[in-house]
Structure 1
Amino acid sequence: MAKAVFLILVVVPFLSLLPFSSLALTQDFCVADLNMSDTPAGYPCKPQTAVIADDFYYGGLARPGPNISPFMVRLVSASVNEYPAVNGLGISASRFDVAPGGVVPLLTHPEASELLFVVEGTMVAGFISAATNTVYIRTLNKGDTFVFPQGLLHFQYNNGTTTAVGLSAYSSSNPGLQVVDWALFKNNLPSAVVEKVTFLDLFEIEKLKRLFGGSG
């Protein structure tokens, strides 16, 4: 009896620390029911009796996505919100087409690491270490890959004369996204506060807020 109590007191709390974060781990798959609310473990599952082969198909990455102004980048994603079949599987993807001179601005994915594969063209990619602020940067050509560790600020830009195309894979079905320019200038934070916390000139801040649609 004492041994059983010991196992309950020790093993059960230990099991609670294991990464059982996915609703799909106890079954073959868990196609997201997007009519339900998202949870820390992912979306609730669509009833398996309602799942069809087309749920596992997604053609969105076959062509460029909508243009994101003013970055001259066309982006299309295959995360859980666009591709419900990846729910709980710890994977997702995106495609971005960067025009000559275009840039994927400083951004972070809080929930995932990213593996970039260059399909066409050439681009410069880099990220900034959180521990030392060291910048790791490299020019990439067709067929090259580059990895961005989870949560770190990273960027890409097209340094060639033709459109560059990249495919990115993520270690989460919902990697999250925060773009630095949007965080600073596409909000209602008073410009005087932005000036204080960034040391940027007030005129430049108001110019960028007009560009990105911020207020305050």
Structure 2
Amino acid sequence: MTSFGLFSAALLLVLQAPMLAFAYDPSPLQDFCVAVKDPKFAVFVNGKLCKDPNLVKAEDFMFQGLNIAGTTANKQGSNVTLVNVERLGGLNTLGISLARLDYAPNGLNPPHIHPRATEILVVLEGTLLVGFVTSNPNKLFTKALNKGDVFVFPIGLIHFQLNVGHGPALAFAGLSSQNPGVITIANAVFGSVPPISNAVLTKAFQVDDTVIRALQHQFGA
């Protein structure tokens, strides 16, 4: 068979084979994006406007201050210093961000989710009890971490860290989004504005109205 004949036979096999297509949507960088037909009502989303490359400086890729401990003088006894695209313009389109996490003794980074990022955490000082909960069925994965230990929290899953050591603790976290977002569960449920209906919350948590009102008062709704 000639070379042309071999090519024709191969092409015929390709055309007769089942065709598969693989595609995916880009990860969103905001909570929602409502479609509009009229461009005069449109806004630029899912990132930032880009600086003229001729005006870019080394300082655009630099952030200073993560050597400074965040204040943990609050109800939770913890502090998160996040370096995302809002604080470091050079992160735009790169899909990463960084956080410093400080914990007082018994300090807690309460259950929360990052809707747009997986998180990898490394402990630099102290001992942390960490964990995350899977989607249905709700299984808890938890571990005590010491200095030098690393733990991963998958994207969108509820997770937490509690300082169970005898002194302050320090950790750093990398996140797989320039704008990972954070939803602290208790604050979102009991402190939303406007508040979620008490009829919804009493039925969801199977407690009476006085308990819901006390929680709403605690979290600011």
TM-score normalised to structure 1 length: 0.79
1:102 and 1:20 map into 2 onto residues whose CA distance is: 36
2:59 aligned partner: 54
Provide the residue aligned with 2:111 in structure 1: 106
Matched AA of 2:212: I
Q: CA deviation at 1:38?
A: 5.6
1:197 aligns to what? Answer: 204
- CA 1:67–1:192 in structure 2 vs 1: closer, same or farther (change >3 Å)? farther
Matching residue's letter, 1:194: L
Distance 1:70 1:164, change over 3 A: same
Task: Give the unaligned 5+ runs of structure 1.
Answer: 1-13, 23-36
Shift of 1:202: 2.5
Cα deviation, residue 158, structure 1: 0.7
Map 1:21-40 → 2, pairs under 5 A: 39-40=45-46
CA RMSD of aligned residues (A): 2.6
Alpha carbons of structure 1 residues 191 and 60: separation in structure 2 relative to 1, 3 Å: farther
The percentage of counterpart residues that share the same residue type is 36
Change over 3 Å in CA distance of 1:21–1:51 after alignment to 2: farther
* Deviation of 1:56 (Å): 0.7
Query: What is the rounded CA distance, in whole Å, between the counterparts of 2:65 and 2:161 in structure 1?
Result: 22
CA contact (8 A) 2:163 2:169 kept: yes
2:80 is the counterpart of 1:89 = no
Instruction: Find the aligned partners of 1:68 and 1:108 in 2 and give their Cα distance.
Output: 23
CA contact (8 A) 1:116 1:169 kept: yes
Unaligned runs of 5+ in 2: 1-20, 29-42
Q: CA 1:54–1:160 in 2, change beyond 3 Å: closer, same or farther? A: same
Residue 71, structure 1, aligned to residue 76, structure 2: yes
- 1:45-100, CA deviations, whole angstroms, 9 ceiling, x for partnerless residues? 11112211111110132212354842111111011111111111111011111111
Tell whether the 8 Å contact from 2:128 to 2:164 is kept in structure 1 after alignment.
yes
Larger radius of gyration: 2
How much does 1:194 deviate?
1.5
Aligned positions, number: 189
CA 1:48–1:145 in structure 2 vs 1: closer, same or farther (change >3 Å)?
Answer: same
Measure, in 1, the Cα distance between the counterparts of 2:199 and 2:69: 38
Q: Which runs of 4+ in 1 moved over 6 A?
A: 19-22
| Distance verdict in 2 for CA 1:168–1:201, change over 3 Å | farther
Q: Is 1:162 aligned with 2:167? A: yes
Q: Deviations over 1:181-207 (max 9, x none)?
A: 111111222333321222234222222
What amino acid does structure 2 have at the position aligned with 1:39?
A: V
Give, in angstroms, the shift of residue 156 of structure 1. Answer: 0.8
Partner residue of 1:144? 149
